[in-house]
Structure 1
């Protein structure tokens, strides 16, 4: 195991692969500072360019994006009070008040330092899990692998936020779309008619680009103007912010561990992680009077957990082939492009690739933090460029990426079709990640179910591993729903308290 860890580092230090990691970090920072885009869109934009690329370089590019976004999305949260992504919402509670009183630099310094430490803890936790998981995973057969696909599908309700029924409908649509083309276990073609283009099935790249890239571009263009409406000075206090984080080192460690644990639960990820950690930090502090008014601990806790969660979400993604988050569905797609089967096989046939991912996660956090610190002022100004100047570049990347799939006119037609579908789903409040996850897991579920039945008849349902994973799926669904409801109540209570304090301050000013 140690030899594989060292060998993976040498593999990653290849100049081209290291350059791809840098490129991923740069893309992640650029995407992270633009509110509403997020790591999912960033990974979708580069997915078409992975064809023909070295697998190690490709995953370094994607992990660079995934690791850098949680650091960069702090900029709009602190400077503008706009969440850069769903994982940086709680940072606004104290980061934005600090910026309003001229302590933006201190808030950003604390956030970046906490993000760096949290990201490294996440990478360390992932590397520690691999040796223990390997013996267990080697005992997995097709029945257990089928149950793991069901485990991934069972978390769709969590990915659906407050709309579980709509999420289930989207997942069913994804499963149906995944059956188009050649059957994975029989020599037949389904729902393709005489259209040869569909014999290989729908392209994952085109589905992802259409669902996630085009709707965001359309909405931002329709809104008009710059992404941010006004600028605030950074002020001074970068060093003080780093000292604050080191002073609260046990707070960073505690919330990093919590971030890894929550991230390891498929589907939880960034949807609640910031509010959970913000609520815990506020409730366990002796002095909570400044929370919501500019307490640096309210920045440190969610930011350390937000970066540490990347190590957690990679655990089910790599070890079981179950996407730990919607962004990890993109990583699964990339692994399939490289001919790598996500799941237990990776710990035997592709162990070097697993450790390359771990090294990439650690180094990307270091590079991302340093770049954010060095380029804070110019990066913060990018959010005030009118989006109509940025949109053409992104549109060209999307169109070229889709066209590179097969260079058939149908590539662009289906891109527009899925773009329209994604826009309608967004307008209707129907979550899009469940559709993508259903599409990815469709073929795997069918293949493993066919193998399980042909090898064991219906006796596979009584295998201990199948029963254990089934019970785990039920536990995670019930537990995650209860945790989410508790977190929402905590966030509402904190917001209500903040609104009440602002009302009292306004009344005092009038008097």
Structure 2
């Protein structure tokens, strides 16, 4: 294992791979700064780029970007009071009040330090889990893999805000979209309505961009305002680092929370910041300053937000279950590269797992450093009206979608999926649930077909299947109980389907 890990490090440090890692980090910085985008949009933009790429290069590019977004999305949260992504909502509670007091530099440096530790902690946990999980993963057959995919589908209710019914229906919609075109297990074409474009189904790039990027850009254009008023950083960069070091136990506890929540399929960035924020308030005696500019209210969500990426990669890479919306797109990226996450990856492509770990660790280090160095110019970018940025973003999304199959059908499908995504957003339907249903549709059908053909009805009596069925039942009960508990209250209201990045 050590030799494989060192070999992966040597590969990632080669100039071509290293450039891809830095490119992903820089793109992640940009995506995180723009409010309302997040990991799902960033990942879908990159999907057309990775066609035909070396898997190590693609891993470095994708993970470099997704690892840094939870760090760079701190800028709009602290400087503007607008969440850069769903995982930075709780940071606003104390980060924005600190900025209004002239302590934005302190809040940002504390957040970046906590993010760095959280990201490295997540990478360390992922490293430790691989040797333990490998024999378990390799023992899985098609029945267990079907149940794992079903476990992922059972979690879509968590992404549905206060309406599990909407979550299940949105997940079912994703399954229906995934069923268009050729069946994965039989030589049959389904629901293509005589349209040649639909014979191969709708590409993941189109679905991701349509459901997420299109609606967010339209909403920001409708507002028609500058992203922020003229911001000031103030002083206190060193004080923020000292704050992080003096509250290292808080950062450690919340990093553990981040890994655990990231590991649970379907949760991801939608709740991790609020769980850690609520935890730190519940376990602190002097809580009267929370919501008014308490630095601990910045450290807690930022450390857990970055640690969740390492936790989210565990089910995604080892079991083929996306831990969040962005991990669902990441899973689609692996399939584009011809890599099947799960037992085959653990047995045949173990080096890629360590490439992911090294990319995650290095991206967090570079991302935190770049955020600190580029804070002043990045902060100035927030005063640019979004109407100036939107044409450039629309051009990128159009080109990205056209690369899917290079036909006009891509653009028509993007428009239709974009309208669907906008309608879902307006009426509070959970878009991540639909995306997870789409990504898992092939796995569900393929593994069920193989299980029935190989084992008959006896596949449901396998020990692994029974254990996973119990886990599904328990997880659904726990998610129902979790929804009945009191949610954190705030004057800021967000969509229930903000990207589970």
Same fold? TM cut 0.5: yes
Matched residues in 2 for 1:225 and 1:154: separation?
Answer: 39
Deviations 1:257-280 (A, max 9, x none): 111111111111111111111111
**Within-5 A mapping of 1:201-216:** 201-216=201-216
Matched residues in 2 for 1:43 and 1:137: separation?
Answer: 26
Preserved contact between residue 77 and residue 92 of structure 2 (Cα < 8 Å): yes
Matched residues in 2 for 1:53 and 1:450: separation?
Answer: 31
Deviations 1:285-335 (A, max 9, x none): 232222222111111111111111111111111111111000001100100
Preserved contact between residue 272 and residue 484 of structure 1 (Cα < 8 Å): no
- Structure 2 gap segments, 5+ residues each: 493-501
Preserved contact between residue 23 and residue 61 of structure 2 (Cα < 8 Å): yes
Distance 1:367 1:421, change over 3 A: same
Answering whether residue 69 of structure 2 is matched by residue 72 of structure 1, we say no
Aligned partner of 1:351 in structure 2 is 350
Deviation at 1:484, TM superposition (A): 4.3
Aligned partner of 1:196 in structure 2 is 196
Answering whether residue 321 of structure 2 is matched by residue 322 of structure 1, we say yes
Deviation at 1:37, TM superposition (A): 1.0
Answering whether residue 107 of structure 2 is matched by residue 110 of structure 1, we say no
Preserved contact between residue 268 and residue 480 of structure 1 (Cα < 8 Å): no
Distance 1:441 1:236, change over 3 A: same
Matched residues in 2 for 1:289 and 1:220: separation?
Answer: 35
Matched residues in 2 for 1:92 and 1:183: separation?
Answer: 46
Aligned partner of 2:391 in structure 1 is 392
Deviations 1:418-451 (A, max 9, x none): 1111111111211111111111111111111011
Matched residues in 2 for 1:495 and 1:281: separation?
Answer: 20
Matched residues in 2 for 1:385 and 1:164: separation?
Answer: 39
Matched residues in 2 for 1:441 and 1:205: separation?
Answer: 15
Deviation at 1:192, TM superposition (A): 2.2
Preserved contact between residue 171 and residue 438 of structure 1 (Cα < 8 Å): yes
Aligned partner of 1:218 in structure 2 is 218
**Within-5 A mapping of 1:206-285:** 206-228=206-228, 230-285=229-284
Preserved contact between residue 24 and residue 65 of structure 1 (Cα < 8 Å): yes
Matched residues in 2 for 1:288 and 1:420: separation?
Answer: 44
Preserved contact between residue 80 and residue 227 of structure 2 (Cα < 8 Å): no
| Larger-gyration structure (1/2) | 1
Deviations 1:32-72 (A, max 9, x none): 11111111111111111111211111121111121111111
Matched residues in 2 for 1:323 and 1:312: separation?
Answer: 11
Matched residues in 2 for 1:394 and 1:248: separation?
Answer: 39
**Within-5 A mapping of 1:332-371:** 332-371=331-370
Task: Report the count of equivalent residues.
Answer: 492
Deviations 1:327-381 (A, max 9, x none): 0011001000000012222111111111111111101100110010001011112
SS at match of 1:146: helix
Distance 1:111 1:149, change over 3 A: same
Deviation at 1:216, TM superposition (A): 1.2
Aligned partner of 1:473 in structure 2 is 472
Aligned partner of 1:127 in structure 2 is 127
Deviation at 1:103, TM superposition (A): 1.0
Answering whether residue 26 of structure 2 is matched by residue 26 of structure 1, we say yes
Matched residues in 2 for 1:238 and 1:312: separation?
Answer: 29
Distance 1:484 1:25, change over 3 A: farther
Answering whether residue 185 of structure 2 is matched by residue 185 of structure 1, we say yes
Deviations 1:150-173 (A, max 9, x none): 001000000122232122112111
Deviation at 1:213, TM superposition (A): 1.3
Aligned partner of 1:98 in structure 2 is 98
Across the aligned residues of Structure 1 and Structure 2, the Cα RMSD in angstroms comes to 1.5
Deviation at 1:10, TM superposition (A): 1.2
TM-score by length of 1: 0.94
Preserved contact between residue 74 and residue 111 of structure 2 (Cα < 8 Å): yes
Distance 1:296 1:171, change over 3 A: same
